Amino acid sequence: MLSVLFVICLIWFIGKFFIFGLKASWGIMKLLCTVVFFPVILIGMVVGGMLYIAFPVLIIGAIIALVDSCS
């Protein structure tokens, strides 16, 4: 009986840490995308001669950041 209780508690404990890990990795990925990948992609587009695409994407990103910071 104690073995079954131990297994149930162990599964619950591992599940909690798994959910915590998913939440942490999602936060890290959001930070990485906004701080690293988005500017690198925009700089690459400007260097590659796609300024007419990079500028509207930059404006849309700035609007989203502004709306997100106000709420």
Model confidence pLDDT, tens digit, residues 19-61: 999 998 988 888 888 888 888 998 998 898 888 888 898 899 8
Predicted local distance difference test score (pLDDT) of residue 71: 65
The amino acid sitting at 5 is L
Q: Which residue, 64, 58, 59, 61, is CA-closest to 44?
A: 58
In eight-state DSSP terms, residue 48 is T
What element of type H or E holds 65?
helix 51-70
Distance CA 71, CA 67 (A): 7
The pLDDT of residue 64:
86
Domain extent at residue 59: 2-70
Counted domains in the chain: 1
So what's the pLDDT on residue 18? 92
